[in-house]
Structure 1
Amino acid sequence: MDERSQMLANEKISKLLLKLSVPAMVGMLVQAFYNLVDTIFVGHAYGADSIQAIGGIAVAFPIQMVGMAVSLAIGIGGSSIISRRMGEREMKKANKTFSNLIFLSILSSLLITGAGISFIVPLLKLFGATETILPYSLEYLEVILYGTVLFSLAMVTNSIARSEGNAKVAMNSMMMAGGLNIILDPIFIFGFGMGIRGAAIATVLAQGIGVLYIARYFLSGKSTLRFHPADLKPDSKIIKEVLAIGASPFARNVSSSFMIIILNNLLAFYGGDIAIAIFGIISKLLMFTLMPMFGIIQGLQPIVGFNYGAKNFGRVRESVKLAIIITTGMSIAGFLVLYLFPEQLFGIFSGDHQLIVEGKNAVRIVVLATPLIGFQVVGGALYQALGKARPSLFLSMCRQVLFLIPLVLILPKYLELFGVWAAFPLADTLAFAVTLIMVIREFKVLAEEGENMRNDPMRNDPLAGN
C-alpha cells in the first residue's frame, strides 16, 4: 500500500479531513471569488446599464452550468470509482478509469460546444433573456462555450487528483486559474475595452493555464495514478458506472438550470430586468457561501470511498459526522453574513439604489433556511462516495424538482414576487427533513456492517477469498 493509501486508511479522521479539505476549500473559494469579481467588474464597467449587464451574466451562467453538470458527473462519478478501486488495491482498474474519464471529458465538451453555439440565441431566450439583456448574454456566453473543453478538463482532473488523496495539486490548479482570472479581468474589460466579452475571455484563458498545470502533474509521474493512452479506449462497464454515480450531481445541476428557466421567466414577469439581476447577485453570493462546504465534501469523498472499499465502516461514519458538524457551522456563518450585511454586499456590485434596496429585501428571505444546507450537502455526498447511485440521485433531485420548482410555480400566483423568494427557504426546509431521514437510515446500515465485520474478521480483507 503506497503512502497516500496508508494515509486514507490509517490517519486520524479529523486531521485527514482537514488535510484533504482545506486545499479544496481554498481552491473553491478562489473559484467563487473570481466569479464574483467577473460580475463586479462588469457591473461597474457598464454604469447606467449595469442592471442589464449583470442580468446578462445571470442568464448565461445557468447554460454554462449544464456543461459543468456533465463535467461534475464525470469527475465525481469517476473519482468515487477510483477511490474505491484504490481501497480494494485494484490499481489497474483505477488507472483504466482515469483514462476513460479524460476521454469522456473531451468528447462531452466538444458535443456541448457544438450544440451550444448552434442554438445559442434560442437557449438564451429560453433561459429568460429579455430583449435588453440578450446582447450582453450573447457576448459573454459565446466565448464561454468555445472554452468548454478547458472547463471540463479542469473539473475532471481536479476531481481525479483529490480521489488519490492529493488535494494540494487540485488546490494549486484552481488557485492558479482563479488568481489569473482576477488579474486578467480588468485588463480585458477596461484596458482593452472589451466589456463583458473581455470577462469571458479572461475566464477561458485562466482555465487553460490551470489545465496545463495539472496535466503536467499527471504526466510527470508524481501521481499515484498512471495515464496510459491505450486506456483511452472506452470501457462500457466503467462508463456505465461513472454515469450511474455521476447522475446525482448531474441531476442537481441540470435541475438547477431547469429551475432557473422557470425562475428567470417568472422574475421577468413579476419584477423585470432588475429582479433577474438581483437573483444573479444572490446566486453569486450563495455560491461564495457554499463553496467552502463543497471543499469539505471534496475532502470527504476520497476518505469515505477508500474506507468503504476497504470495509472500514467505522471510519466512514466518523468522517461523515465530522463533516456534518463543520458544514453546519459554515452554513450558520454564511447565513449571518448574508442576513446582516445585504446592503453592503449588493453595493459592491452596483451603485444603483433600487437594486440595493430590493436586493436587501430579497436576500433576507432567500437565505432564511441556509443553516440547514450544510447537512443536505453532506448527505448527498455520502451516497455518491458509497457508489449508491439511486439514493444519491433522489437527494439531488429532491430540493430542486420535488420542492423548489413546484413552490416557485405555485406561490407567486398568490404572493407575486415575494412568493418567488419565499420558495427557497421552504424548499430547503423540506429537503433537509428528507435528507435527515435517509442519512439516519444509512448510518444504521453502516453500523450493522461494522458489527458484522467485528464478528467475522476475515471479511475485513478486501482480497480475502480471491
Structure 2
Amino acid sequence: MPGVSSEALGSKPIGKLLIQQAVPASIGILVMSLNILVDTIFVGNWIGPIAIAAINVVLPVSFFIAALGMAIGIGGSSIISRALGATQKDKALKTFGNQITLTLLVTCSMVGLGLLFVDSLIPAFGGKGGIFEPAKIYYTIVLYGVPFLALCMMGNTVIRAEGKPRFAMIAMIIPSVGNLVMDYLFIYVFDWGMEGAAWATTGGYLLCFGYIFWFFLSPNSELKINWHHFGLNRYLLKEIGGLGFVTLSRQAVTSVTYLLMNNILFELGGEAMVAVYAIIGRMLMFALFPVFGVTQGFLPIAGYNYGAHKYDRVKESIYTAIKYAALVATIVFVILMVFPGEIAGLFLSDNPDLGPEALATNAFVLEHTPSAMRWVFAATPIIALQLIGAAYFQAIGKAIPALILTLTRQGFFFIPLILILPGYFGELGVWISFTIADVLATVVTGYYLKREIHRELKMSL
C-alpha cells in the first residue's frame, strides 16, 4: 500500500480529498461498529439478554479510560496537522512523543483506580440485581487491556493527521475481525461465557496495538521519533490537554449519561429495560458510522489547511463535509424508521434452551425497542451540522468553543431532559429526550459555526 504525503491535504481538490479521507475512516468505523454489533448479537444469542445489559454497564468505565487515549490523540493530532501544514516537523515529532508518554501515565493510573473500586463502580453504573456478577467478570478482564486500547486510539488519530487514512482503517479492522473470531472460539466453541466475551475483546485490543506499533516503525510513517521526544514539554502538554479536554469531556458526559440512563431505565423496567437501551446504544455506534467517518476525514483536512493559512479551502471543506454527512445521515434515518423491529430481532434468540425467564425478557425487549429506536433516531438527518461544527473548532485549535459545542447536546440539553421528562411521560420521556436534545444542539452549533465563518474565515481570505 503506497504512502501518501501529508502535503496532499493542502493541494488536492476538497471533494476528492474528503472522499479519500472519509471512505477509509467510514470503513474502519463500520468494521469496528459491526464488531460491537455482532459481538452483542453473539452474547445475546449464546449467553442471554442479561449479558447484553452487563456489557452495557461496563462500557462507560472502560470507554472513559480508553477515551483518555483518544483525547490525547485528537488534541495532539490537531497540533501535528497544523505543524505539518506549517512545515514544523520537529514540533510534530515532539508532540507525538509527548502523546505516548502521557497516554501511558494517565491510562495505567486510571486502570489501577478502576480495579480498586470495582465493587462500587459497577452498581453505580446500573449493574444491579442479576446484572452485577456477569458485569464484574467482564469488567475485570477487559480493564487489563484498556491501556492498549488507549494507545491504539491515540495512535490512530496520529496516523490520520499524517494523511494516511488507509492505514488507520486497517488499524480498526484488524482488532474487530480478531475479536469476532475469538468470540466464536471462546464463547461458542469453548463455552467460556462472559469470560470468553471479555478475553475476546481484550485480545482485539492487543492485535490493534501490534499493528499500530508496526506502522510507526515502518517506512510508511513520517514521524520517526527518538528517545528525547518522549520527555514531557509543559507547553505542548498544555495545548494537548486543552484540545484533548474537549474529547475527554464528551466521553465523560457520555459515561454520566450511561450511568443515569441505566439507573433510570432499571427503575422503570428492570434488567429488561436496560437491555433495550443496550441495543439502542449499539445502533447509535453502528448506524451513524458513515457520518462519523466524514467527521474523522474532515479533521485533518481542516487542520492542515488552517495551519497553512489556506482559509478558502478550510471554508470549502466545512460546506462539503456537512453536505456529504447530511446525505448519508438521511439514508441511515430512512432505514431505521422502516426496519426497527427487524433490527431489534437480530439481538435476540427464541432458543428454548435459554429458559423461560430469558425468553420472557427477550419478548419484553422486542416489544419495547422499535418505538424507542424511532424516537432516538428521529433527528438523524440534521446531526451532520452538529458534528462537523464541533469538529471544526477542535481541528483549528480553538478549545473553548469546541468544548462548549461538544457538551451542548448531552451536557446542556440531554441530561437535564432525562432527569425531568421521565417523571411526566415515563419511558417515553427517556426516548423523546434524544430527539429534543439533537434539535436544540444543532441550532446552537449552526449559529456558532455561521458566526465563525463570517468573522474569521471570510475576513482572512
TM-score bracket, shorter-length normalisation: over 0.9
Map of 2:413 onto structure 1: 403
Map of 1:18 onto structure 2: 19
Q: Is it true that 1:413 corresponds to 2:423 in the alignment?
A: yes
- 1:249 Cα deviation after fit: 1.3
Map of 2:50 onto structure 1: 52
> Contact 1:161/1:170 (CA < 8 Å) preserved in 2?
yes
Aligned to 1:381, which of 366, 376, 391? 391
Give 3-state SS (helix, strand or coil) of 2:129's partner.
coil
Q: 1:448 to 1:374 in 2, by over 3 A?
A: closer
- 1:262 Cα deviation after fit: 1.3
Q: Which moved more, 1:439-448 or 1:91-100?
A: 439-448
Aligned counterparts of 2:163 and 2:213: Cα–Cα separation in 1: 17
Aligned counterparts of 2:56 and 2:383: Cα–Cα separation in 1: 22
Aligned to 1:349, which of 347, 350, 354? 347
Map of 1:241 onto structure 2: 239
One-letter code aligned to 1:390: I
Question: In the comparison of the two structures, how many residue pairs are matched?
Answer: 447
Map of 1:182 onto structure 2: 180
> Contact 1:161/1:167 (CA < 8 Å) preserved in 2?
yes
Map of 1:464 onto structure 2: none
Q: Is it true that 1:8 corresponds to 2:15 in the alignment?
A: no
> Contact 2:97/2:229 (CA < 8 Å) preserved in 1?
yes
Question: What's the RMSD between the two structures over aligned residues?
Answer: 1.3
- 1:221 Cα deviation after fit: 3.2
One-letter code aligned to 2:379: A
Map of 2:449 onto structure 1: 439
Aligned counterparts of 2:228 and 2:25: Cα–Cα separation in 1: 31
Unaligned runs of 5+ in 2: 350-361
Aligned counterparts of 2:156 and 2:426: Cα–Cα separation in 1: 42
Aligned counterparts of 2:19 and 2:426: Cα–Cα separation in 1: 44
Aligned counterparts of 1:433 and 1:441: Cα–Cα separation in 2: 13
- 1:422 Cα deviation after fit: 1.2
Give 3-state SS (helix, strand or coil) of 1:224's partner.
coil
Map of 2:71 onto structure 1: 73
> Contact 1:219/1:227 (CA < 8 Å) preserved in 2?
no
* Percent of aligned positions that are identical: 38
> Contact 2:7/2:85 (CA < 8 Å) preserved in 1?
no
Aligned to 1:145, which of 143, 146, 164? 143
Aligned pairs for 1:60-459 within 5 A: 60-351=58-349, 352-451=362-461
- 1:93 Cα deviation after fit: 0.5
One-letter code aligned to 2:458: E
- 1:213 Cα deviation after fit: 1.3
> Contact 2:243/2:399 (CA < 8 Å) preserved in 1?
yes
One-letter code aligned to 1:133: I
Aligned counterparts of 1:147 and 1:63: Cα–Cα separation in 2: 13
Give 3-state SS (helix, strand or coil) of 1:89's partner.
coil
- 1:3 Cα deviation after fit: 6.3
One-letter code aligned to 2:169: M
Give 3-state SS (helix, strand or coil) of 1:271's partner.
helix
1:166-187 per-position Cα deviation (integer Å, ceiling 9, x unaligned): 1111111111111111111110
Map of 1:457 onto structure 2: none
- 1:292 Cα deviation after fit: 2.1
> Contact 2:107/2:147 (CA < 8 Å) preserved in 1?
yes
Give 3-state SS (helix, strand or coil) of 2:288's partner.
helix
Give 3-state SS (helix, strand or coil) of 1:226's partner.
coil
- 1:303 Cα deviation after fit: 0.8
Q: Which moved more, 1:280-289 or 1:345-354?
A: 345-354
1:52-108 per-position Cα deviation (integer Å, ceiling 9, x unaligned): 111101111111221132112111101000000011110000000011111111112
Aligned counterparts of 1:98 and 1:233: Cα–Cα separation in 2: 11
Q: Which moved more, 1:243-252 or 1:80-89?
A: 243-252
- 1:193 Cα deviation after fit: 1.1
1:419-465 per-position Cα deviation (integer Å, ceiling 9, x unaligned): 111111011111011001011011112433333xxxxxxxxxxxxxx
> Contact 1:163/1:302 (CA < 8 Å) preserved in 2?
yes
> Contact 1:313/1:446 (CA < 8 Å) preserved in 2?
no
Unaligned runs of 5+ in 1: 452-466
- 1:6 Cα deviation after fit: 2.7
One-letter code aligned to 1:350: L
Aligned counterparts of 1:417 and 1:335: Cα–Cα separation in 2: 22
Give 3-state SS (helix, strand or coil) of 2:127's partner.
coil
- 1:366 Cα deviation after fit: 1.5
> Contact 2:146/2:205 (CA < 8 Å) preserved in 1?
no
Aligned counterparts of 2:29 and 2:364: Cα–Cα separation in 1: 31
TM normalised by structure 1 equals 0.94
Aligned counterparts of 2:389 and 2:411: Cα–Cα separation in 1: 17
Q: Which moved more, 1:3-12 or 1:283-292?
A: 3-12
One-letter code aligned to 2:29: M
One-letter code aligned to 1:24: A
Aligned counterparts of 1:446 and 1:156: Cα–Cα separation in 2: 30
- 1:23 Cα deviation after fit: 1.1
Q: Which moved more, 1:398-407 or 1:58-67?
A: 58-67
Aligned counterparts of 1:170 and 1:149: Cα–Cα separation in 2: 18
Aligned counterparts of 2:419 and 2:326: Cα–Cα separation in 1: 29
Give 3-state SS (helix, strand or coil) of 2:156's partner.
helix
Aligned counterparts of 2:134 and 2:422: Cα–Cα separation in 1: 28
- 1:16 Cα deviation after fit: 0.8
Aligned counterparts of 1:438 and 1:290: Cα–Cα separation in 2: 23
- 1:196 Cα deviation after fit: 1.9
- 1:382 Cα deviation after fit: 0.3
Aligned counterparts of 2:399 and 2:220: Cα–Cα separation in 1: 32
Q: Which moved more, 1:66-75 or 1:142-151?
A: 66-75
Give 3-state SS (helix, strand or coil) of 2:51's partner.
helix
Give 3-state SS (helix, strand or coil) of 1:272's partner.
helix
1:313-363 per-position Cα deviation (integer Å, ceiling 9, x unaligned): 000011111110111112212221222111111111113222111111211
Aligned counterparts of 1:427 and 1:419: Cα–Cα separation in 2: 12
